[in-house]
């Protein structure tokens, strides 16, 4: 059950819950126009994914979070009206999840609300018609592939570069070379296993952050040294790979490896944690 009762495209959606759209609740629905009431604070994972007739979306002015893949593959989506600001009730930064608008091939402009600090991985990947993006002062990180494949991205309006931009965040866009020259290297930690999707964590490497704990999801790290040729850090919170690590520039390094013989039909399972500094 979720925020909408699924009805025909011509009918006005009826809300069951005032404050959220639940995970996958509207996925694949033939809605054409979306006008979201200001009571909604959270759009769940894949909530409007593959709504292939959706052309215009006006989001809640009190929105705090757009979940992973929330509007992924909405092929006809041309316009999204975002709120002016996105913050949780306690004042913490709002969230744009992984792949939230990935594959929205007709979307031509997006204004990221003030209060958003991180644009998740692949958030606007392959938005082929996207021409204008406006980034807020609050933005501190653009994760891997966030705008990759946006080949028509002409205008990128921002006060200054965010502190952390993944090396492939603007891959195959007109801004790729310029940003590659101006950005600082990023520490990326990837946890791969046989029994789940890879988990990717990315951290800024500014000198001022040495000794400061950074948290991304369920992982926390502290930088000990930042040099052109290497980075040294400690993982202070995570289920694996605690302790101190040193990673050379542009040389992926294995932090953790374990094999599990679970027997039966599944056989041996493998877990790896890799880090790169580039």
pLDDT digits (tens, 9 = 90+) for 70-83: 999 999 999 999 99
What is the tens place of the pLDDT at every residue in 183-226? 999 999 999 988 777 899 999 999 999 999 999 989 999 999 99
| 31/167 same-domain check | yes
Q: What pLDDT sits at residue 197? A: 79
How many Cβ atoms sit within 10 Å of the Cβ of residue 251? 12
Domain with 222, as residue range(s), is: 187-277
| 179/197 same-domain check | no
Spatial CB neighbours of 249, under 8 Å, sequence gap ≥ 6:
185, 228, 229, 230, 231, 277, 278
**How many domains is the chain partitioned into structurally?**
2
Q: What pLDDT sits at residue 12? A: 56
Instruction: Give me the chain's average pLDDT, please.
Output: 92
Which of 183, 212, 247 is the endpoint of a domain? 183
How many Cβ atoms sit within 10 Å of the Cβ of residue 173? 21
Residue 8 binned pLDDT confidence (cut-offs 50, 70, 90): very low
| 109/234 same-domain check | no
| 140/268 same-domain check | no
| 206/170 same-domain check | no
When computed from its CA atoms, the radius of gyration of the chain, rounded to whole angstroms, is 20
The encoded tokens of residue 223 equal: 């930088």
165 has pLDDT over 80: yes
| 112/167 same-domain check | yes
Domain of 45, CATH number, reads: 3.80.10.10
| 135/195 same-domain check | no
| 170/223 same-domain check | no
Q: Is 38 within 8 Å of 16 (Cβ atoms)?
A: no
Q: What pLDDT sits at residue 1? A: 35
| 100/26 same-domain check | yes
Mean pLDDT for 111-125 is 97
5 has pLDDT over 50: no
CA atoms within 13 A on the CB side of 248: 4
| 168/246 same-domain check | no
pTM of the model: 0.88
Which of 183, 213, 237 is the endpoint of a domain? 183
Per-residue b/e over 53-74, b at no fewer than 16 CB within 10 Å? ebbebebbbbbbbbbbbbbbbb
Kindly list the strands in the beta sheet with 230-237, ordered across the sheet, starting from the edge strand earlier in the chain. 213-216, 219-226, 230-237, 243-248
| 146/230 same-domain check | no
Spatial CB neighbours of 192, under 8 Å, sequence gap ≥ 6:
198, 271, 272, 273, 274
Which of 151, 166, 183 is the endpoint of a domain? 183
| 58/162 same-domain check | yes
């Amino acid at each position: 059950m979720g925020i909408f009762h699924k009805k025909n495209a011509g009918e006005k959606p009826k809300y069951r819950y005032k404050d959220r759209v639940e995970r996958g609740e509207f996925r694949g629905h033939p809605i054409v126009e979306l006008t979201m009431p200001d009571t909604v604070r959270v759009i769940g994972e894949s909530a409007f994914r593959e709504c292939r007739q959706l052309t215009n979306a006006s989001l809640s002015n009190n929105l705090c979070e757009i979940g992973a893949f929330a509007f992924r593959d909405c092929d006809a989506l041309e316009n999204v009206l975002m709120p002016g600001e996105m913050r949780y009730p306690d004042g913490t930064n709002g969230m744009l999840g992984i792949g939230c608008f990935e594959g929205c091939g007709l979307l031509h402009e997006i204004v990221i609300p003030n209060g958003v600090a991180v644009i998740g991985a692949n958030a606007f990947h392959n938005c082929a018609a996207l021409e204008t993006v406006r980034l807020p002062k609050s933005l501190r990180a653009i994760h891997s592939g966030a705008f990759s494949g946006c080949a028509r991205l002409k205008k990128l309006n921002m006060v200054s570069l965010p502190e952390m931009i993944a090396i492939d965040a603007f891959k195959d866009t007109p801004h790729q070379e310029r940003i590659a020259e101006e950005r600082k290297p990023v520490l990326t930690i990837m946890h791969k296993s046989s029994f789940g999707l890879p988990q990717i964590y990315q951290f800024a490497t500014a000198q001022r952050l040495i000794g400061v704990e950074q948290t991304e999801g369920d992982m926390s790290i502290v930088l000990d040294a930042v040099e052109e040729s290497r980075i040294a850090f400690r993982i202070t919170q995570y289920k694996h790979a605690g302790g101190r690590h040193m990673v050379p520039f542009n040389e992926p390094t294995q932090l953790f490896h374990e094999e599990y013989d679970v027997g039966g039909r599944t056989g041996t399972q493998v877990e790896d944690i890799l880090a790169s500094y580039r």
